[in-house]
Amino acid sequence: MTNSIHHYDVAIIGGGPAGQAAALVLDQNGARIAVIDEQQRPGGQILRQPPQEFAMAQSMKGKSYTSLKSQLRAFEALNRCDWIGGKSVIGIDRSGGTVDLTLASGDGITQVSANRLLIASGCYDLPIPIPGWTLPGAMGAGGLQALVKAQAVVPDGRVLLAGTHPLMLIVATQVIAAGGTVAEVAFDQRQSFLARLLIKGAGTALRNFGLMLDAASAWATLRRAGVPVTFGQRLSVIEGLNRVSSARIGKRTVHCDAVGLCYGFLPQSDLPRLAGLSVRWAQPTGGWAAEHDGWMRSSVSQIFVAGETSGVAGAPAALLEGQIAGAGIALDLGLIPMDEAEAIRRDAARKQIRVSRFAALLDRIADPTSALTALRDANTILCRCEDVTIGAVETALIQDSDPNSVKLVTRCGMGTCQGRGCEHMLLRLAAHKRGVGPNELRGFTSRFPVRPTRIGDLIG
């Protein structure tokens, strides 16, 4: 562990749209910034970039990407801002007066210290413990998309996309563009609302907005390519001996070699919770969103949040929150006067109205609640790190419905991922058992290190 600590005015965790937007505001106002990301290059999940040495055509052609791309170019042109790529923040310590971050990578441990911290660490695929979900070949649609974006890698054979989220239409076209084959895009929900929105316009201006616009054009592309897009037939089981070979969609068996599960996204909440931020249960996907004030200040002094960390609302919303957080931090540090900060916030807040209406609509369309409620197969693994089944958890819940007791008794959530995969489902089961909402339960305690870290790197 090196002992040289780099000090900054602001450390930003996450190089996606929110982190970039905040960095642009802060850089313009003279702040010394470090942006830390687990990826080697900026972009976040939405504009995930291939490694520099890869010569690869940009696969993200949709219109919703345009403003995000121009922001990325502006961010990459910043020369005072330190980009710290390929590192994970594994710990946050405020006891010394500054916000001290411990960073881990294959090269060992480093430390970064800052007066203010912005957590804009994004989201991840909502894990769905459906029978067969742990078979090789089954993955989150976001993970599938990451493979396509960063490496132009597509799974061999036929890819099935299943879930509730319209993003899977876009992922399907990206798989095809990268040379893959899509067996089917299967929506869990009935056609009515989504289709009205995508095909007929449904009398809302939101139809022409962001992801929906791309989803509509993706659907047209899939139709032309002869890919079936189905509705109202639920994926109930993924089958295969050593890897995925088929899936049950409604009463049909669909032969496929990979399944992308697309039911929505959960905020990455390990760092916010490790730092003691107040969080709320995020509806309708679940997971924990950080609470904040009008300047994106969290409940803990010196720490701000933006983007999916404050609740998954998509890249355009993240960008606006990043701008507000940037202005809020600049104001806090005395870098800009109130009227300038207010001007930035007012401008962003005005745009937020439309963006948040869209996010609310998308939440309604993509609501995974009914699909999740159907997941009660006792033999299905819920915690894949420790091989704990849904049945084992339900048995433990009979004795004590406290999620943290169930964790101790069953080891559900005690593995290397610290519960990122299973916590949301355990909380839903516990809430159901107790007859309350998951928001009334205490989730797992987030622990250092947020990512598994080699012990030899930490000593000293």
Q: For the CB of residue 32, give the shortest distance to other proteins in the complex, in Å.
A: 23
Q: Which is nearer to other proteins, 95 or 379 (CB)?
A: 95
Task: Give me 150's structure tokens.
Answer: 């960063």
In sequence order, what E strands does 216-324 have?
A: 229-231, 235-239, 246-249, 252-255, 258-262, 265-267, 279-281, 288-290, 303-305
Q: For the CB of residue 100, give the shortest distance to other proteins in the complex, in Å.
A: 8
Q: Which residues bind other proteins (CB under 8 A)?
A: 1, 91, 93, 95, 102, 386, 399-400, 402, 404-405, 408-409, 411, 414-416, 418, 445, 447-449, 452-456, 458-460
Q: For the CB of residue 435, give the shortest distance to other proteins in the complex, in Å.
A: 11
Q: Which is nearer to other proteins, 156 or 440 (CB)?
A: 440
Q: What are residue 125's DSSP bridge partners?
A: 265
Q: Which residue in 39, 24, 40, 22 sits closest to 116, CA to CA?
A: 22
The size of the chain, in residues, is 460
Q: Which is nearer to other proteins, 20 or 102 (CB)?
A: 102
Q: Which residue in 162, 374, 165 sits closest to 254, CA to CA?
A: 162
Q: Which is nearer to other proteins, 353 or 455 (CB)?
A: 455
Q: For the CB of residue 36, give the shortest distance to other proteins in the complex, in Å.
A: 17
Q: For the CB of residue 380, give the shortest distance to other proteins in the complex, in Å.
A: 21
Gap between the terminal Cα atoms of the chain: 7
Q: Which is nearer to other proteins, 156 or 387 (CB)?
A: 387
Q: Which is nearer to other proteins, 46 or 392 (CB)?
A: 392
**CA–CA separation, 38 and 5 (whole Å):** 19
Q: What are residue 101's DSSP bridge partners?
A: 92, 112
Say if residue 267 is preceded by a cis peptide, omega within 30 of 0. no
Please say whether the beta carbons of 282 and 267 come within 8 A: yes
Q: For the CB of residue 445, give the shortest distance to other proteins in the complex, in Å.
A: 7
**CA–CA separation, 178 and 14 (whole Å):** 27
Q: For the CB of residue 275, give the shortest distance to other proteins in the complex, in Å.
A: 11
Q: Which is nearer to other proteins, 178 or 408 (CB)?
A: 408
